[in-house]
Amino acid sequence: MNKEILQLEPVSVWNNFSKLNAVPRPSKKEERVIAFAMDFGMALGLETFTDEVGNVIIRKPATKGMEHKKMVTLQSHLDMVHQKNADTTFDFDTEGIRMRIDGDWVKAEGTTLGADNGMGVAAIMALLESAAIEHPALEALFTIDEETGMTGAFGLKGGILKGELLLNLDTEEDDEIDIGCAGGIDVTAKRSYNEKSSVHGDIGYRIVVNGLKGGHSGMDIIKGLGNANKIMNRVLFAGMAFHMRIGNLEGGSLRNAIPRESTCLINIDKKQEIAFVEAVTKVADAIKKELTFIEPNLEINISPVKASKKVMGLGAQGKFIKGMYAALNGVYAMSATIPDLVETSNNIARVQVKEGAITIGCLTRSSVETSKMDLANSLKSVFELAGFEVDFSGSYPGWNPNPNSKILAVTKGIYKDLFKEEARVVACHAGLECGILGQNYPDMDMISFGPTILGAHSPDERVSISSVQKFWKFLLEVLKHTP
């Protein structure tokens, strides 16, 4: 770890972020970070406990003169997205994040940084341990598994929280105050296929798509970034004319990350080799030209390898490739009420073809429940026509904006006083936990804000140092002036 990070301002926030990033904390494997948060709260002598699903709650009394104010719940999630570059050697289950400073940015060495949502967690920790900061009674809510199902928020029962105001510290533009978000649903398509023995004389090729930016499948979907799974499918579609057979395919990983890489092994008749390579290279060059401005580092490499012993039958292969071609990826609809907001989208996040089984994993998002299900049913129809069985799971609601929120009015005024400009009041095309928490706490007044984080859910993730300073200053003023 770069020791200079420990000297950044605000020192308490960066020190806590460094301590947090030393703890492996993948979604659904949060035992160590839960213990870390529990030890932190108990060492301060504060009321500290977990609920039945593993969320950590820590309470701190108000400072002198602030006892009359409403209790504020400060909320962030403990888990982080684990993504790394293909050439980076790193074990997320055992290693802490390796960080470095690059100008105004803190980045990680070839992996995700964990600023989403580690900066929020670190800020809350700094507040809990401070003896000098003025604040009303505080209730820290550290949720688990936000990134792969929001099971922490779903599992938090009514009656546990005491706060009347909730500050979610999980947004990624420091000039925004968020008052709404999209809901989502996982769409999973599966089918089996009969493996065929390769034909004598066939030769093998490996096709690799990499060099894409990736990113957050909600916040970044509007950018038109390349999706490795869809790019690979275009290449395979071109290869179908040459009696190509797929051996196996691995593309993407997490549903909430735009896939950056895909690898496929295929067999072809040696007599077709020259024509195949020419045709596929032509398509690859066309794709790179289309995306040259948005994805300048995109690579599509085709290289000879040993032929696969087992391949997919032509019937199943044709349905798979055509089904993938027809399935929507990207923006489906823009909001009719909020300018420049994506209403509904889909990310074809994970594709696996292996040992007689195909699995396609999507994350469909929308701020309108009926539109979310409309797109989910469209995907279901496409994949069922291609012979897949389709399952819906992990559905979570959006967060309906409340423009009349009292805490919103307070924070807008504070932002303008501090920074001499109006904050942008927005809704986002990502899944925040506020919508879920609001189901069991319907009277809680909620907003969300945070520092500027770019490239979340990708190894390009970075957080602005000056923005963290701005965020911290804003947060302290908000706590001074809450109702």
Q: What is the CATH number of the domain that holds 471?
A: 3.40.630.10
Q: What is the pLDDT of residues 57-111, one digit of tens each?
A: 999 999 999 999 999 999 999 999 998 988 899 999 999 999 999 999 999 999 9
User: In sequence order, which residues have a C-beta less than 8 Å from that of residue 131 and are 6 or more positions away?
Assistant: none
* pTM of the complete model: 0.81
CA distances from 371 to 334, 390, 395, 414 (A): 11, 18, 13, 36
Q: Are both 45 and 105 inside the same structural domain?
A: yes
Domain match, 330 and 360 both: yes
Residue 52 appears among annotated catalytic residues: no
User: Which residue type, as a one-letter code, is found at position 237?
Assistant: F
Residue 137 sits in the same domain as residue 173: yes
pLDDT tens string 264-308: 999 999 999 999 999 999 999 999 999 999 999 999 999 999 999
Q: Rounded distance, CA 294 to CA 281, Å?
A: 20
The three-state secondary structure class of 152 is helix
Annotated catalytic residue within 30, 79, 343, 460 = 79
Catalytic residue among 30, 145, 146, 178: 146
| Mean pLDDT of all residues belonging to the chain | 96
- Please tell me the predicted confidence (pLDDT) of residue 2: 67
Same domain, residue pair 266 and 335: yes
Active site residue 79: yes
Show Cβ contacts of residue 103 under 8 Å, excluding neighbours closer than 6 positions.
Answer: none
Among the three residues 396, 429, 462, which one is the final residue of a domain in this structure? 396
| Co-location of 153 and 222 in the same domain | no
Residues 352 and 386 reside in one and the same domain = yes
Give residue-wise pLDDT tens across range 408-418: 999 999 999 99
**What is the residue range of 364's domain?**
185-396
- Both 34 and 14 in one domain: the answer is yes
The reply to whether 170 and 237 lie within a common domain is no
| Domain boundary, last residue among 333, 368, 396 | 396
Helix (H) or strand (E) holding 341: none
Number of domains within the chain: 2
